[in-house]
Amino acid sequence: MVVPILFGVSVIVFFLMRLVPGDPALVILGLRATPEGLAAIHRDLGLDLPIHRQYIHWLGNFLSGDLGRDYRSNEAVTTLLAQRLPVTIELTLLSLLMSTAVSIPIGVQAARKPKGWADRAADAIGLVGISVPDFWLGIILVLVFSLGFGIFPSSGYTPLSVGLAQNLSGFVLPSLTLAVGLAAVLVRVTRSAVAEVMAMNFVRFLRAKGLSEPAIFYRHVLRNAALPIVTVTSMQFGYLLGGAVIVEQVFDLPGVGNLIVTATLERNFPVVQAGVLIVAAFVIFVNLAADLLNLLLNPKMSEADL
């Protein structure tokens, strides 16, 4: 499943970039453009070849790690991505951590006690969390915690090498911003997954076997509810990366999303192309990893289903 999807994605990305009006050679040379110069650059970039050969050429380069060069700075796109990826990864992982830490316990408790406090909290988080625009939430968090209380920085990134505390404090507000939408989805999924398992016949049989409620719950119910929760979390990863694009803008974090947006505004296409493809590949591989995890958790699934 993964390879054909990746192939499709790469074809779309490649041809989208060919749709770009204008000649990239003109962008590179600008006012210094001469017919000879343009032709030379066309040869260099392989733009004089037929389109399918261009694609194969591009894909070959891509797979061997050559993602092209930044039109403006002439830096290798690979280098740029290597600088930016860690920021995005840290941001998404931290928000994944934050949202699971809140939503899974609340969702579980909500399923155990319908109409209890957790159930109401789950309703509220589930509804407001998916309705709030994340960039606005980020702005409000800055307004309150940076401008108001002065606890966390309002923007910017401190590398991990400078210090863990400074690094993390810069990530608190962005990760929180990004976590809210995911938490909303996860809290709903957790609640319904746990409630569904608790209503299953085998739970009644476990009671009849004489197992205690905690043993039934922690050993059997959670184990079975974990499956849909893992699946949905991984499916939401794409959403998280999309959100990261916006959140990186709000907090001025130098991640891949920020790179893509800046490059888009500057019409710096090799960077956009590589960035989009990397992000899509990332999403596909996270889904693959989730499938593998499901294989471990779900005895009904076999390798053939992948």
Partner 1 sequence: MSEKRQLQPRSGTPVLLRMAARSRAVTAGLAIVGLLALAAMLAPWLTGGDPSEMDFNTIMASPSRGHLFGTDNFGRDVLTRVIFGLQVSLVVAISSVTLALIVGVPLGLFAGYRGGWGGAAIMRMTDVVMAFPAIVFVVALAGIFGASVTLMVLSIALIFAPIAVRVTAVASSAIKNELYIEGAQARGASHTRIMALHILPNAFAPIAVQASALMGIAILFESAISFIGLGVQPPTPSLGLMLAENRPFMGNAPWLVLGPGVCILLAVLGFNLIGDGLPKLFGRSARS
Partner 2 sequence: MALLQINDLTVSFETGAGCVEAVSAVSFHLANGEILGLVGESGCGKSTVAYSLLGLLPPHARVGGSIKFDAVDIAKLDERALRKLRGNRIAMIFQDPMTALDPSFRIGSQLVETLRLHLNLDGVTAAKRAVELLRSVGISSPELRMQAYPHELSGGMRQRVALAIAISCNPDVLIADEPTTGLDVTIQAQVLQLIRVLLTKEKRSGVLLITHDLGVIANYCDRVAVMYAGKIVETGAVSDIFGDPKHPYTQGLLAAIPDGTIARGALRTIPGRVPALTDRGAGCRFAPRCPMALPVCLQPDSPPWVGLSQQREVACVQYAIT
- Tokens 């770009």 found at: 20
Closer to partner 1 by Cβ: residue 158 or 192 = 192
Tell me: does residue 130 bind partner 1 (CB under 8 A).
yes
Which window, 32-40, 135-143, 156-164, 288-296, contacts partner 1 (CB under 8 A)? 135-143
Residue 211 Cβ, how far from partner 1 at the closest point, in Å? 31
Query: Residue 300 class from Cβ within 10 Å (0-12 exposed, 13-18 middle, 19+ buried)?
Result: exposed
Q: Tell the smallest beta-carbon distance from residue 201 to partner 2 (Å).
A: 4
Closest CA to 176 of 107, 115, 95, 114: 95
Contacts of 99 (CB under 8 A, 6+ apart): 179, 180, 182, 183, 186
- Residue 8 within binding range of partner 1, rule CB under 8 A: yes
In one letter, which amino acid is 156?
Answer: G
**Closer by beta carbon to partner 1, 101 or else 127:** 127
Contact flags string 191-210 toward partner 2, x per CB under 8 A: ---------xxx-xxxxxxx
Give the alpha-carbon dihedral of 157, 161, 165, 167, to 10 degrees.
20
- Give the burial class of 108: count Cβ atoms within 10 A of its Cβ; 0-12 exposed, 13-18 middle, 19 or more buried: buried
Cα R_g (the chain), whole angstroms = 24
Q: Amino acid letter at 157?
A: Y
Candidates 261, 288, 290, 297: give the one binding partner 1 (CB under 8 A): 261
Question: Quick one: what does residue 132 bind among partner 1, partner 2, none, with the CB cut-off 5 to 8 Å set by partner type?
Answer: partner 1
Residues that bind partner 1 (CB under 8 A): 1, 4-6, 8-9, 12, 16-17, 19-21, 127-128, 130-136, 139-140, 143, 147, 238-239, 241-243, 245-246, 249, 257, 260-261, 263-265, 267, 269, 272, 275-276, 279-280, 283-284
Residues that bind partner 2 (CB under 8 A): 200-202, 204-212, 220, 223-224, 297-300
